[in-house]
């Protein structure tokens, strides 16, 4: 796939990382294959996870085609960038087309990035996974590469002001490829992926340079002030209800 826009965007992002003096802890990035199709499965804790997740594939010199909300492709600012970098728009009301496009990319040897939780986790722990990640990989005959991000929530996430102050730390942990086939039970394979990424997330949090008690960006189960998964679910439902009540244009 010909990429004119993606490389300079990566260059700008790397420049921004240097200006912000972001401190990266990269672990297991050798598991991102240097060639061939793969589904990159990431946890979702921040609005900048697309950028940071793509950076985690850079040691293997790979570009990631992310599946993202269709509204981003209609935005006057982000739309040209998303289309130019060949990301995949997801219309939740008509997801079959997005699925077919992702399969085509995978069979052409691309890496497709997905967030199995489908939305940002307010608790910063893993939410329930959708099975589409596993089904897609099985249908395309490619592995699933689990990736965990940590620290990105401190920069830009739900319910908190943006903070792009300098010297922040971000961890990227990549697990070993997971092979799935059409013969595998999608529910069981999804549970296995969830368990694998939960383990990676636990290790990544514990290895992070700080865990201040009560910190808003630290999960409640680690002594932080983030909502519990149950509280986060209630907040998610309230958000959905507010969206539904908005007048349609």
Q: Does residue 1 belong to any structural domain of this protein?
A: no
193: helix, strand or coil:
helix
Q: What is the CA radius of gyration of the chain?
A: 18
Contacts of residue 157, defined as CB under 8 A and 6 or more positions apart, other chains included, come to: 45, 46, 47, 120, 122, 217
Q: Identify whether the C-beta of residue 20 lies closer than 8 Å to the C-beta of residue 52.
A: no
Q: Does residue 141 belong to any structural domain of this protein?
A: yes
Q: Identify whether the C-beta of residue 144 lies closer than 8 Å to the C-beta of residue 41.
A: yes
Q: Does residue 165 belong to any structural domain of this protein?
A: yes
Q: Which domain holds residue 173?
A: 6-245
Output the pLDDT for position 249: 60
The H or E element containing residue 40 is strand 38-42
Output the pLDDT for position 2: 84
Output the pLDDT for position 95: 73
* Residue 40, CA distances (Å) to 31, 143, 217 in order: 11, 9, 24
What CATH number does the domain containing 219 carry?
A: 3.40.1130
Low-confidence ranges of the chain (pLDDT < 70): 93-94, 248-249
Number of domains in the chain: 1
Q: Does residue 189 belong to any structural domain of this protein?
A: yes
Write the Ramachandran bin of 99: left for phi over 0, alpha for psi from -120 to 50, otherwise beta. alpha
Output the pLDDT for position 1: 78
Cα 177 to chain centroid, rounded: 16
Q: Does residue 225 belong to any structural domain of this protein?
A: yes
Burial of 193 (0-12, 13-18, 19+ CB in 10 A): buried
């Amino acid at each position: 796939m010909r990429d004119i826009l993606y490389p300079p965007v990566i260059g700008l992002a790397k420049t921004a990382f240097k200006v912000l003096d972001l401190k990266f802890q990269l672990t297991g990035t050798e598991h991102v294959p240097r060639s061939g199709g793969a589904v990159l499965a990431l946890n979702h804790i921040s609005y900048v996870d697309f950028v940071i997740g793509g950076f985690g594939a850079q040691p293997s010199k790979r570009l990631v085609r992310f599946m993202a909300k269709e509204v981003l492709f209609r935005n006057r600012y982000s739309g040209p960038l998303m289309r130019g970098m060949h990301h995949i728009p997801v219309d939740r009301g008509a997801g079959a087309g997005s699925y077919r496009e992702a399969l085509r990319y995978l069979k052409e040897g691309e890496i497709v990035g997905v967030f199995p939780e489908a939305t940002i986790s307010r608790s910063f722990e893993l939410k329930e996974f959708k099975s589409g990640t596993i089904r897609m990989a099985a249908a395309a005959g490619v592995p699933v590469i689990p990736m965990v991000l940590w620290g990105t929530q401190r920069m830009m996430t739900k319910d908190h002001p943006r903070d792009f102050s300098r010297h922040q730390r971000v961890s990227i942990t990549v697990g070993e490829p997971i092979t799935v086939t059409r013969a595998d039970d999608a529910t069981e394979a999804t549970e296995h992926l969830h368990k694998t990424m939960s383990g990676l997330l636990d290790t990544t949090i514990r290895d992070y340079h700080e865990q201040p008690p009560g910190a808003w960006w630290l999960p409640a189960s680690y002594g932080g002030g983030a909502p519990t998964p149950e509280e986060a679910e209630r907040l998610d439902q309230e958000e959905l209800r507010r969206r539904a009540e908005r007048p349609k244009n």
